[in-house]
Chain A
Amino acid sequence: MARIGVFVCHCGENIGRTVDCAAVAETLAGHPGVAHAEDYKYMCSDPGQALIKRAIIDKRLTGVVVAACSPHMHEKTFRRAASQAGLNPFMCEMANIREHCSWIHEDRDAATAKAIDTARTIVEKVKHNEPLQTIHIPVTKRALVIGGGIAGIQAALDIADGGHEVVLVEKDPSIGGHMAQLSETFPTLDCSQCILTPRMVEAYQHPNIKLMTWSEVEAVDGYIGNFTVTVRKKARSVDADVCNGCGDCLAACPNRRTPSEFDAGLGTRSAIYVPFPQAVPNTPVIDRANCGRFKAIAKGIKKEVCGKCAEACLKGAIDFTQQDELVTEEVGAIVVATGYQLYSIGRAQPEGLTGYGEYGYGEIPDVIDGLQFERLASASGPTAGELRRPSDGKVPQTVVFVHCVGSRDPEKGMAYCSKICCMYNAKHAMLYRHKVHDGRAVLFYMDVRAAGKGYDEFTRRAVEEDGAEYLRGRVSRLYRDGDVIKVVGYDTLAHEPVEIDADMVVLATAIRPQPGIKQLAQTLSVSYDEHGFINEAHPKLRPVETNTAGVYVAGACQAPRDIPDSVAMASAAAAKVLGLFSVAELEREPAVAAVNETTCVGCLTCQRVCPYGAVEAKEIRDRDGNVVRTVASINPGVCQGCGTCQAVCMSKSIELATFTDAEMYSEIEALAFWP
């Protein structure tokens, strides 16, 4: 005979205001099988838990129902308390009378009646609960980091320094990411490459880091502690083991007109290239789309074209026949650090976004974006650090910077703040004024958001020491008028229209996640928001975890982030990974499905519907080893307990522990048969 205890929580006013908790406890006390019922103001508090523990012992309870908040909040708390009092933790269940009742209703009587119904159904379920044991699973103490920007590098270094192997996968030929493109960094104006390149080299040389550049994650199987990752190593067309990075092939390549991705399209590179001088690894890649030899092959020309790089290479490292290679890696944790791209402001936009045609980006050569300005200001950039505008190489005497291009503009589909632009615009204005002393730097802003250590001081310095002219208002149009760009805007403080003749205009365009992010997120089964930014598990309390256990997130793929934030997130994600790797075995809830092999007819419908690939066909043999029949078999390590197989099983041979048919039907019956 069941002896169930019911504990009704007021949650302060949260439940108590709309539900008569004492009445719920009183009614449930009379329910068959309930040996004890009481209400308390905060059941999750220490005294509240003590009530439960005492009742379990004193009343020899066989099951516990806590009518309180969502199990997401406190199921763990109460199951732990039950287990401390000697009860199997899976005999403790929660009836949600807060999110599902008090928070959404106003009528006290009706809400109380509903709370009683809710508690009753769970009491009926607990009568059918079975004591269960947690599942223990092994952990592969090896991590995968996706993305070799500053966030990925930091996460990889921290995990590697913690003594565990890391596979660092980067889609570009070199690690370094966007940070390598920057000239200086705010708020200290230290050289970006000077602080980044030592980290890049460290990651390259670290004995625990396996670096895979020019590679992309293709597939991910498995679960926390036991992922199997397939990485596509794109054909480099250069044998990395033989190449010594001398650069003779680059000099020999006749195609020098390919726009350089690293220079944000402002400079050019050869078809065989190293993205930038400090690239890690310093091994070139042949860009097959722009290489004469591969273009000829693509056109079906049999004759071997060009090959000048191969002739120039004294080591014989060039290999035109190289193919993409699929590599499998076993890891226990994954850190996603794929970073961002800039919103392209031209007219044609992907994903239904509308651009800013009125800004003429892409049509007026001297209208550029923030990253392009970084390259113009950078000593390694196309102008060797001299500020010259792209169209005619003239030193611009007036530069207009426009904040919030795309960002904070719901009309353009991006209501969010891109966070870094206020700071980098101030930095750009300073860099410009440091290089062109008599030039004018005008910044159109909505409001200056400089929250961060030393940030506000930095923007003030731009105004007070470097003469940046801040103008509050939006720019309505940019158009070419002879040699200058007319900037038409409105000064909302002076309440008057403004027109400025600029030599160059820099648009601080919105930060967007990388183009392939949604596909990658689906591969990893992590959720993302409407913009494609990866969702964290909890916006405040679990900022670097995702909703898939064992997958963590760092840097600008989660939301617009500056360098300090990205690095902090990366270290936090690394700490989570190291925490995961510090235990010998992981514990998992036993909410997994199991097959009754005597009734299973082997139709394997469950195998076809399982989203996790947890179902396998199992052959049942007689004593002589002959196959008698085939049944489904579920790998409890892979099963995530979604219940899909249970729902489709036609012979009713699958039961999901904690959600068995008996438990579910008893809940429904409780609603139907109790007044």
Chain B
Amino acid sequence: MTLAYYPGCSLKGTSREFEESFLAVTRALRIEMTEIDDWSCCGASSAHPISRDLGVALPARNLALAAEQGADEVVAPCAACYNRLATAQHELGADADLAARMPGILGHSLPPALHIHNVVDLLAAYAPRIEELVAARVDPPLLAGLRVAAYYGCLLVRPNEVTGFDDAEQPATMETVISAAGASPVAWNMAVECCGGAFSISRTQSVVRLGRRIVADARAHGAQAIAVACPLCHTNLDLRQAAMTARGEEPLPALFITDLVGLAIGLSPGELGLARHFVDTEPLLASLAAEAEATATAAAAQESS
């Protein structure tokens, strides 16, 4: 298998901490991949409502490049990029007319079907290696007992015939990764609810209202952090959380799933870009470290006595 990496615009701009975190973790997990040379916009949100051809052609170009560069699998960490790539491939497979038009539009021959990964299913496939690395650490496990709400949003899991996620209504793949990292996923209600998506700018109040429900429900079910796998979800739950917690609620760090895995396998907060998050992750990291310390001391005391 040869894995190509499609970063998309978010990971190079507003969500550069996701790329830092993603690259650090894939490196640590020894996942080999090459960034697609000359990749271009996936067209997310803007292209497909305007023109079906454009909405398919933009992602298809990147798939064609990946294939030409020798890849048979692609990972797109951004959920919207992932969704567009997967949808384009699905539509090309289902619509022969569209597939026939595509080479003329792209100037590339039609890409063969590639295995398109999002960050969650990629990490889930490496769950045994994550567990191995967590177990191999000399330090006490950092995330032990950390209660995490796995938040999927919409683009990772839907539509089910495109994404093939385990269950569109009650997905559980992210929970597998969280468990592998040594943390405890909580059972909660809002895992696949809408975060408001791109309305963050045009209708901020709606996004704050939707986000507040998500954060409040996670908190009510005992979560200490929310795990996300989408730059836009992260922006909405992180950047907009100040407005959601204006009434004095406890802030709830929104961490990328790669942040959790990174912390668990011993990467530093700096390597993972945690300082770039708007909700301060320091208090959570401090309490985790203190707890791990206490566990280690207790274990040492038990051993010596």
Q: Which residues of A contact B (CB under 8 A)?
A: 347, 356-358, 477, 479-481, 486
User: Using an 8 Å CB-CB cutoff, how does the interface string of B100-111 with A read, 1 for contact, 0 for none?
Assistant: 000000000000
**Which residues of B167-185 are within 8 A (CB) of A?**
167, 169-170
Give complex CA distance A667, B167 in Å: 57
Give complex CA distance A469, B167 in Å: 32
Report chain B residues within 8 Å CB of A486.
189
Report chain A residues within 8 Å CB of B170.
347, 357-358
B189 to A357, Cβ gap below 8 A?
no
Closest to A478 in B: B189
Give complex CA distance A154, B193 in Å: 51
Interface of B is mostly: loop
14 pairs, CB–CB < 8 Å, chain A vs chain B: A347-B170, A356-B169, A357-B167, A357-B169, A357-B170, A358-B169, A358-B170, A477-B169, A477-B189, A479-B189, A480-B189, A481-B189, A481-B217, A486-B189
Report chain B residues within 8 Å CB of A477.
169, 189
Kindly provide the distance from the CB of B158 to the nearest chain A CB, expressed in whole angstroms.
12
Give complex CA distance A356, B170 in Å: 9
Kindly provide the distance from the CB of A498 to the nearest chain B CB, expressed in whole angstroms.
15
Closest to A480 in B: B189
Give complex CA distance A527, B170 in Å: 37
Q: Which residues of B contact A (CB under 8 A)?
A: 167, 169-170, 189, 217
Kindly provide the distance from the CB of A366 to the nearest chain B CB, expressed in whole angstroms.
15
Kindly provide the distance from the CB of B187 to the nearest chain A CB, expressed in whole angstroms.
9
Report chain A residues within 8 Å CB of B167.
357
Interface of A is mostly: strand
Report chain A residues within 8 Å CB of B189.
477, 479-481, 486
Report chain B residues within 8 Å CB of A479.
189
Give complex CA distance A505, B112 in Å: 48
Give complex CA distance A442, B206 in Å: 27
Report chain B residues within 8 Å CB of A356.
169
Report chain B residues within 8 Å CB of A480.
189
Report chain A residues within 8 Å CB of B217.
481
Give complex CA distance A108, B217 in Å: 71
Kindly provide the distance from the CB of A346 to the nearest chain B CB, expressed in whole angstroms.
12
Give complex CA distance A357, B189 in Å: 12
Give complex CA distance A479, B170 in Å: 12
Give complex CA distance A479, B169 in Å: 12
Give complex CA distance A481, B213 in Å: 11
Give complex CA distance A480, B189 in Å: 8
Most buried by B among A356, A357, A481, A486: A357
Kindly provide the distance from the CB of B189 to the nearest chain A CB, expressed in whole angstroms.
4
Give complex CA distance A486, B75 in Å: 36
Most buried by B among A356, A479, A480: A479
Give complex CA distance A358, B157 in Å: 14
Give complex CA distance A23, B169 in Å: 64
Closest to A354 in B: B167
Closest to B160 in A: A411
Give complex CA distance A479, B189 in Å: 6
Give complex CA distance A358, B170 in Å: 7
Kindly provide the distance from the CB of B167 to the nearest chain A CB, expressed in whole angstroms.
6
Closest to B169 in A: A358
Closest to A481 in B: B189
Kindly provide the distance from the CB of A45 to the nearest chain B CB, expressed in whole angstroms.
49
Kindly provide the distance from the CB of A657 to the nearest chain B CB, expressed in whole angstroms.
53
Closest to B167 in A: A357
Give complex CA distance A481, B221 in Å: 10
Give complex CA distance A128, B217 in Å: 83
Give complex CA distance A358, B217 in Å: 16
Report chain B residues within 8 Å CB of A347.
170
The 5 A-B pairs at the shortest CB distance, nearest first, are namely A358-B169, A479-B189, A357-B170, A357-B169, A357-B167
Other A-B contacts than A356-B169, A481-B217, 12 sampled, CB-CB below 8 A, are A347-B170, A357-B167, A357-B169, A357-B170, A358-B169, A358-B170, A477-B169, A477-B189, A479-B189, A480-B189, A481-B189, A486-B189
Report chain A residues within 8 Å CB of B169.
356-358, 477
Report chain B residues within 8 Å CB of A481.
189, 217
Give complex CA distance A365, B189 in Å: 16
